[in-house]
Amino acid sequence: MRLRVIASIGLAASLGQAAWPAVAGPAPGRAAVLNALSACRAVTESAARLDCYDKAEAAFEQAEATGEVVIVDRAQARAARRQAFGFNLSALSMFDRGMSGDEATSLNATVAEAYRNGDGKWIIVLDDGAHWRQIDDADLSRAPHQGSAVRIRHASLGSFVMNIDGQPYIRVHRDE
């Protein structure tokens, strides 16, 4: 899985701070090569500004080519967030930018497989391969099946609840 932006301290050091114009301060959470590109706007003389942009863009392209910086679009960020939904991966919070609150706290999916484990609890495998296990004793009036519509949302204290085909929620935990 590709993370949105990864920048190493070594890359920033290798770019040489003297090559870039001074700015009010780097934007927090942004890669040094992106800050350097943005800093070129502050150069007033046209030829110097163009030279700054050329150097900063070349460094940015090099950083992306070597994997020091990884760029993802909103659709890729949503896909990564969806795939990781249910796991405690606070490092993925960068993917929440531009998402509505509901997108970051709930998930709509389809059941690919549903069965009971030895304890009689439901194991729900979603269409994206995620495995969710029932952790409460609630009964479902209708058994989930392939194609059932599922809505999972955050509940209290970091737990999750799952609604299957409009039935009352059951408490669940993501295993895989």
Number of domains composing the chain? 2
* Model confidence pLDDT, tens digit, residues 33-67: 888 888 999 999 999 999 999 998 998 888 888 87
Last residue of a domain, one of 32, 48, 66: 66
Single out the residue in 17, 44, 66 at which a domain terminates. Answer: 66
- Joined together, the tokens standing for residue 142 give 């209708």
The whole domain housing 96 covers 74-174
pTM: 0.49
Count of CA atoms in the C-beta half-sphere (13 A) of 128: 16
pLDDT 10s digits, 5-30: 333 323 333 334 334 444 445 556 67
Q: Is residue 1 part of a domain?
A: no
**According to the model, what pLDDT value does residue 106 have?**
82
Higher pLDDT pick, 73 / 9:
73
Same-domain status, 36 and 55: yes
Say if residues 151 and 124 touch (Cβ distance below 8 Å). Answer: no
20 and 88 together in one domain? no
Instruction: Give the three-class secondary structure for 93.
Output: helix
Residue type, 26: P
For 151-166, write each residue's pLDDT tens digit: 998 888 778 899 999 9
Domain co-membership, 126 together with 82: yes
